[in-house]
Structure 1
Amino acid sequence: MNLSTRIKDLMNALSAGIPEREFCIELAFLTTIVREPFYLYGRSGSGKAIVIDRLVAAFKNAKALRIGRRVQEIPSKLSDYNLIVFQSYDVTNERQKESVQIALQDRAGTPVIISGDLRPEVALTRGEIVDKIALTVALPDSISASALCQLLTTPRDVTLTDIPAELTITPEESAEWKEKINKIAFSADALDMIGKLAELCDSNNIYVSIKKWMVLSNIAKAAAFFNGRTEASLMDTFFLGTNIWGRTISNKIIVEGYKKIALEILLKNIPEIHEKRYDADDLLARIDRLLNSSNNKYDTREFNNEACVMYKVTIAGESTPLYVPLRYIETDGDFNPYNELRQVEKRVRCNYHGTSNCSIAIDSAVKGIGLRTNVVRSSNSTLKTGKFEDYATLPTYILSENDPDIIAQKKIQREEIRKEVNASMERESKTLLSLRDTYRNLKQNRNELFCNQQLFDEILGQIKEEFDATSVLISKIKEAHAKLDGKAS
């Protein structure tokens, strides 16, 4: 039996009969292996005592020092013990609080487990040990209906600890593994993740000490070691994207940040994904206008870096110019024109209804004060809008029909759009293939040791969403190609 198989069987034995706590047990095991202290949090009845009993049983003939709420002296030589366990930790119990501080100070590399039902931010801060605890292992408050049924129908007594002897870990093995774990290197992706998480913490004023980063890095290396790797990969850092950070607000920020960073790293070879995606709807709209609009030449002027038709409207006794981009003429859809300040005027709504005549509607909120009022303009974004009311339908002056210059321009535009369609199809097809390969490669790792499958599935799902969005994009580009060739249905 190789090491990975043995540890996988051990993890199964440790979590047998207590569903939906598998990852918590795995994380607790890894932290114990690298001999670091952690806080085991869970409400009364969540299974803390069972987890501790099984974790102790994972080590052959382990000598565990267990300290509860009752007054108990701390032995002078803590190195005689393989594990130190504080159960029912209560920060109001000054004697127990002092004992924990002594144990963390004098443990000499012995792993310490502190369990309690006080929220981590309270227990660790008020206990004055927040900087000495590597991470928090938080047991779920409840279990799902299906897991409850599984628990109720299991034939074994889940409170009993029965770990096969051949799976248990001897002190010699533990010491040997720790030396090998220390030699594990980091992949570029794993280092990138840790670095960006550190930046995320700094930018959000979340303090994580250098010592804690080193401990978390050792846990990642331990995961890599048991998975048979010589360097820690991005997969081995997945536990960093779970609720291990103690404070509720820290967990929320870092967990969400981890998922975004992981997606950036996994898709780093697909730069288009991280930019504003190609607008295929705009492409189709431009093709429709090119194919369906007339060849008329209209009276326009240059405004806001594009050809526009100018209309003057009188509202509340004042004449105000509006500028409508030429690209909207003969289209069918609502849009907002520009005002004289070169801003999109959201208080006016226009529509050509497929003709050269522009229908204009104004917000009833400005009907009595006009569009130029300084107060209205300064609060344009916060002004309480009313109902849009029809104002007028204004014509666009046609300079010439079937203008040869317009016909020539359209011919050039058609060729430019054709090149754009071909280039975008090639680019998005490559993106689609890259997303497919990334998805397939990542999915193979789902059943790895110490993989948080909930987080894994979320990240995998995000990649699939990008794949599906790219598939839709390609379908629209194909539709655009068919329209240009006159093959659209």
Structure 2
Amino acid sequence: MKLQQRMERLVNAVCEGMFEREEVISVALLGALCGQNTFLYGPPGTAKSLISRRIACAFANPAYFEYLMNRFSTPEEVFGPISIKALKEDRYVRKTEHYLPQADFAFLDEIWKSSPAILNTLLTLINEHTFRNGEQIEQAPLKALVAASNETPDANQGLDALYDRFIIRLMVGPIEQSDNFERLLACKPTEAAIRVDDSLIVKADEWAKWREQLHEVSLSPETLTIIRLIRSELATRYDKLKVYVSDRRWQRATQLLKAAALFNGRSETNHSDALLLRHCLWTHEDNRVAVNDIVEQAVKNSGFDSGINLAQIDAEKESLEKEIHNELFSATDIYDTQIINGHAFFKVKNDFDNTRIGSYIFIPLDNLKNTHEFHPTSETGNELNYIVCQFDGQGTCRISMKSRYGSFNFKPEVLFHKGDKKPNINKRLITSLAESVAKTREQLIATLNKIEKQCQGYEKKLASIFVPAQQSALAIDGITEQIARLKLRIKDCERLEALCK
């Protein structure tokens, strides 16, 4: 039996008789398989303790410990009573058998209600997997700890270090679907202890072997891109969300992703594995939904690793487009002017009955956009101060003489309007620009072909025991959008090439 098939059957066996708990159980079981601790967050009566007991049933002969914490809990109730015999011999030793220090799996309900003395010892136990029993340091065989509460620890309680050790944080809410709720009412009470087939149950040597095999699983470029996008967004929104993710949490969260890939029969992580980060990064109820959205959006935005810098290509394409437009099209209106002493002038026919002025007067082009009065010049460049000119802001100039009331209007002739194609262009430059655009287009086409090839059958590869199918579909949506954006870039290159012809 393949490992993926075995894990799928094991999850189904552990979930038997449970309603709307499949994802919670599968992810918590995945955490136990890779040695990560799980925090179950939710109101009372949502089967949190039952989930923990079911997970323990997936392992062979587990030493299981369970305790409901409260503010009156004592270390003796969690770590074992003091040995009276040893105490008589002047030794302070606990009898740890059947208590947390000797447990393979443990469930601590209402964990944050416990005393600091218990929680501080617990931190060392789950972090170092050791327990100081009198003068002896005992190895703790704890494979996974599941804790539960209907609250998250406040920032000022000094519990950040312990809370950070719970890499997996799962919301366990009431049953939402009415048909599932009715089935719950109709069926007999769900049993905590179930019998799992021997061919499915996890043995101690297998568990140790799989822990080693995790290191052979690699993080895909897409997974690293997703993590980079998430870190960037969390940093941007830190002031609002107050989500800090330690380096240790990131490292152990990626172990969870690798485990998901391993038990799904893959040697490399993919988009669906990265979706498990939804259960690893939130800290409190008020940022849980926002963090979930950030992870999902990062998975959608990542697409496939294209192997090229699309931002750089976009910048180069934009630069080429500007060069092409500057060479092919007029950036401004081009007027019929004449150069006098290095300056451009409008040549205006003299409509005044004054022969000493000459047949033409000349109006500076620079005054076209101004509305103040000015004097034109003669053909020799001398200012005609007895003639007053003024543009109206709409392109028409009123020309009048001081000594008489007569006047006439002049509207400059536009040879080429802004955006018109220039009559004389540098064909060699345009050919060179077109070749650069074609090179960019070919690079984009090669990338498109690569991504479309990767996309073939990828939906099947995204199928995961630990992630719902509708969540994995986000990756396909993102890849589809990535392909569409590449096609638009290619069309844009074709448009620029057509302009150059």
TM-score range (shorter-chain normalised) is: 0.5 to 0.7
1:159 aligns with 2:190: yes
Deviations 1:259-316 (A, max 9, x none): 5488558334142267647989x979x99x979x9x98426999xxxxx9975356xx
Cα gap change, 1:20 to 1:464, in 2 (>3 Å): farther
Supply the AA of the counterpart residue of 2:107: V
Task: Find the counterpart in structure 2 of residue 105 from structure 1.
Answer: 124
Supply the AA of the counterpart residue of 1:152: E
Tell me, in whole angstroms, the C-alpha distance in 2 between the residues paired with 1:17 and 1:173: 27
Tell me, in whole angstroms, the C-alpha distance in 2 between the residues paired with 1:13 and 1:240: 25
Supply the AA of the counterpart residue of 1:99: I
Task: Find the counterpart in structure 2 of residue 137 from structure 1.
Answer: 169
Cα gap change, 1:471 to 1:113, in 2 (>3 Å): same
Deviations 1:316-340 (A, max 9, x none): xx99xxxxxxxxxxxxxxxxxxxxx
Cα gap change, 1:52 to 1:435, in 2 (>3 Å): same
Alignment check: 8 A CA contact 1:134 1:215 kept: no
Cα gap change, 1:276 to 1:60, in 2 (>3 Å): same
Task: Find the counterpart in structure 1 of residue 380 from structure 2.
Answer: none
Structure 1: gaps (5+ residues)? 303-307, 320-349, 351-356, 360-393
1:84 aligns with 2:84: no
Cα gap change, 1:440 to 1:19, in 2 (>3 Å): farther
SS in 2 for 1:44: coil
Alignment check: 8 A CA contact 2:41 2:172 kept: no
Map 1:37-436 → 2, pairs under 5 A: 37-69=37-69, 71=73, 72-75=77-80, 76=94, 77=96, 78-91=100-113, 93-94=114-115, 98-106=117-125, 108-110=140-142, 111-118=144-151, 120-122=152-154, 127=159, 129-130=161-162, 132-139=164-171, 141=173, 145=177, 148-153=178-183, 157=188, 159-161=190-192, 162-166=194-198, 167-181=200-214, 183-187=215-219, 189=221, 192=224, 196=228, 200=232, 207-230=244-267, 236-242=273-279, 244-247=281-284, 248-249=286-287, 252=290, 256=294, 259-260=297-298, 263-264=301-302, 266-272=304-310, 276=314, 297-298=334-335, 311-312=368-369, 397-398=412-413, 400=415, 406-409=422-425, 419=435, 422-423=438-439, 425-436=441-452
Instruction: Quote the offset at 1:214 in angstroms.
Output: 4.0
Instruction: Quote the offset at 1:396 in angstroms.
Output: 7.6
Tell me, in whole angstroms, the C-alpha distance in 2 between the residues paired with 1:15 and 1:309: 82
Instruction: Quote the offset at 1:469 in angstroms.
Output: 3.2
Q: Give aligned-pair identity as a percent.
A: 18
Cα gap change, 1:29 to 1:266, in 2 (>3 Å): same
Alignment check: 8 A CA contact 1:197 1:258 kept: no
Cα gap change, 1:121 to 1:445, in 2 (>3 Å): farther
Alignment check: 8 A CA contact 1:40 1:113 kept: yes
Instruction: Quote the offset at 1:66 in angstroms.
Output: 0.7
Deviations 1:32-73 (A, max 9, x none): 123333311123344423322321222233231110146434
Alignment check: 8 A CA contact 1:10 1:163 kept: no
Alignment check: 8 A CA contact 2:36 2:167 kept: no
Selected match of 2:462 from 443, 446, 456: 446
Supply the AA of the counterpart residue of 1:137: R
Alignment check: 8 A CA contact 1:239 1:451 kept: yes
Alignment check: 8 A CA contact 2:17 2:190 kept: no
Tell me, in whole angstroms, the C-alpha distance in 2 between the residues paired with 1:124 and 1:7: 41
Deviations 1:71-114 (A, max 9, x none): 434324334322111113343x53xx543443332352412111
Task: Find the counterpart in structure 2 of residue 35 from structure 1.
Answer: 35
Tell me, in whole angstroms, the C-alpha distance in 2 between the residues paired with 1:479 and 1:426: 14
Supply the AA of the counterpart residue of 1:102: T
Task: Find the counterpart in structure 2 of residue 367 from structure 1.
Answer: none
Tell me, in whole angstroms, the C-alpha distance in 2 between the residues paired with 1:67 and 1:435: 52
Alignment check: 8 A CA contact 2:41 2:148 kept: yes
Number of residue-to-residue matches in the alignment: 396
Deviations 1:168-199 (A, max 9, x none): 22334323433443x43534638845984796
SS in 1 for 2:207: helix
Tell me, in whole angstroms, the C-alpha distance in 1 between the residues paired with 2:279 and 2:445: 34
Instruction: Quote the offset at 1:463 in angstroms.
Output: 2.0
Supply the AA of the counterpart residue of 2:149: G
Tell me, in whole angstroms, the C-alpha distance in 2 between the residues paired with 1:11 and 1:252: 29
Deviates more, 1:472-481 or 1:107-116: 472-481
Cα gap change, 1:13 to 1:409, in 2 (>3 Å): same
Cα gap change, 1:441 to 1:397, in 2 (>3 Å): farther
Alignment check: 8 A CA contact 1:63 1:81 kept: yes
Alignment check: 8 A CA contact 2:34 2:211 kept: yes
Tell me, in whole angstroms, the C-alpha distance in 2 between the residues paired with 1:51 and 1:11: 12
Cα gap change, 1:53 to 1:261, in 2 (>3 Å): closer
Instruction: Quote the offset at 1:245 in angstroms.
Output: 3.5
Task: Find the counterpart in structure 1 of residue 347 from structure 2.
Answer: none
Tell me, in whole angstroms, the C-alpha distance in 2 between the residues paired with 1:9 and 1:175: 20
Instruction: Quote the offset at 1:446 in angstroms.
Output: 1.6
Alignment check: 8 A CA contact 2:65 2:105 kept: yes
Tell me, in whole angstroms, the C-alpha distance in 2 between the residues paired with 1:17 and 1:313: 84
Instruction: Quote the offset at 1:140 in angstroms.
Output: 5.1
Task: Find the counterpart in structure 1 of residue 89 from structure 2.
Answer: none
Deviations 1:370-426 (A, max 9, x none): xxxxxxxxxxxxxxxxxxxxxxxx998337579xx9422287787677657645653
Question: Normalised by the size of structure 2, how large is the TM-score?
Answer: 0.61
Tell me, in whole angstroms, the C-alpha distance in 1 between the residues paired with 2:176 and 2:495: 46
Tell me, in whole angstroms, the C-alpha distance in 2 between the residues paired with 1:276 and 1:425: 11
* Structure of larger gyration radius: 2
Tell me, in whole angstroms, the C-alpha distance in 2 between the residues paired with 1:429 and 1:437: 12
1:3 aligns with 2:8: no
Instruction: Quote the offset at 1:447 in angstroms.
Output: 0.8
Question: Normalised by the size of structure 1, how large is the TM-score?
Answer: 0.62
Selected match of 1:466 from 482, 485, 496: 482
Cα gap change, 1:411 to 1:85, in 2 (>3 Å): same
Cα gap change, 1:431 to 1:156, in 2 (>3 Å): farther
Supply the AA of the counterpart residue of 1:398: E
SS in 1 for 2:277: helix
Cα gap change, 1:230 to 1:290, in 2 (>3 Å): closer
SS in 1 for 2:111: coil
Tell me, in whole angstroms, the C-alpha distance in 2 between the residues paired with 1:190 and 1:425: 24
Tell me, in whole angstroms, the C-alpha distance in 1 between the residues paired with 2:248 and 2:430: 62
Instruction: Quote the offset at 1:115 in angstroms.
Output: 0.4
Supply the AA of the counterpart residue of 1:433: N
Instruction: Quote the offset at 1:484 in angstroms.
Output: 8.0
Alignment check: 8 A CA contact 1:299 1:396 kept: no
Deviations 1:432-476 (A, max 9, x none): 323323433642322134346455332331221122233345556
SS in 2 for 1:112: strand
